[in-house]
Homo-oligomer: A and B are copies of this chain.
Amino acid sequence: MINNNDRVLLVGEGREYYVRAGAGTLSTDKGQVDLALLIGAQAGGCIESHNGTRFTVLIPRPTDFFLHAKRSGAPMLPKDIGFVISSTGMNRNDTVLDAGTGSGIAAIYFGGIARMVTSFEIRGEFVALAQKNIQDARLENVKVVAADMLTADGIYDVVHLDMLIEAPHIEHAFSLLGAGGYLACYTPFLEQMAVVVDSAQERFSEVHTHELIEREMVRSKRGTRPSTSVCHSGYITIARK
């Protein structure tokens, strides 16, 4: 059931709106929607605009936060987040350390999977933004810490770094992992990838770096072909303790 202040996705007429239940009105080209009516609504149910157009009420999924949540900077793409999840075998038994949080998008994906996620971020403005996004995602198992991950302690199953990584971070990540745990590092530039690999190879038993090139296939009346759409890429290094 939707509560006051909950994030809701309204879908209809080929459009979608990322709104908040409670006082206020959403103006669409299909009429006004009274957002207070969302309080008490059921996910999957419908709500009508003042002129009778129906919108489906959805609880946002991680994919919706990726598209609609307020962001700052370039978050990791779902293809790369998915690669981290499957390459580490992330699951409900896991405690995950994430750094840097950024807008919290990766933490939202991980938080829907793992038992507990602790995400470190040293830039104050990102901490506030991420906390708001994570609260919107109703994830009580994700904690954002306004500190350098070098200050972290405890033992984790997965450590995920998406930040400017230097050798001490790799060294500390090693100490934070339990036996069989995984380190996943995302680096957009080759030079950073080299720092990660060189440092990880000194400590971890298996170190592999991959890049995923994502191509959309487009099918039209003229035929099927690869898209020419833009596709950002980074390098993902996976190391196992």
Q: Are B86 and A189 in touch, CB under 8 angstroms?
A: no
A116 to chain B, nearest CB (A): 12
A125 at the interface (CB under 8 A from B): no
What are the residues of chain B within 8 A of A209 when measuring CB–CB?
Answer: 216-217, 219
What is the chain B residue whose CB lies nearest that of A158? Answer: B61
Identify which of residues 148-185 in chain A touch chain B, using a CB-to-CB cut-off of 8 Å. Answer: 178-180, 182
- The answer, yes or no, to whether A84 is at the interface (CB within 8 Å) is yes
Q: A26 in the interface, Cβ–Cβ < 8 Å?
A: no
A50 at the interface (CB under 8 A from B): no
Q: Find out whether the CB atom of B78 lies under 8 angstroms from the CB atom of A64.
A: no
Chain B residue at minimal CB-CB distance from A115: B92
Q: Is A192 an interface residue (CB 8 A)?
A: yes
Complex formed: what's the CA distance from A146 to B119 in Å?
Answer: 42
Interface digits, A201-241 against B, CB 8 Å rule (1 contact, 0 not)? 00001001111111111010011111011111111000000
Contact of A197 among B78, B219, B235 (CB under 8 A): B219
For the complex formed, measure the closest distance between the CB of A232 and the CB atoms of chain B, giving whole angstroms.
5
A41 at the A/B interface (Cβ < 8 Å)? no
- Chain B contacts for A215, CB-based, 8 A: 210-213
User: Which residue of the partner chain B has the closest CB to A189?
Assistant: B223
Residue of B with least CB distance to A231 = B228
Given the known inter-chain contacts A9-B180, A178-B44, A189-B224, please indicate yes or no for A217 contacting B235, CB distance below 8 A. yes
Of A9, A219, A226, A229, most B-chain CB atoms within 10 Å: A219
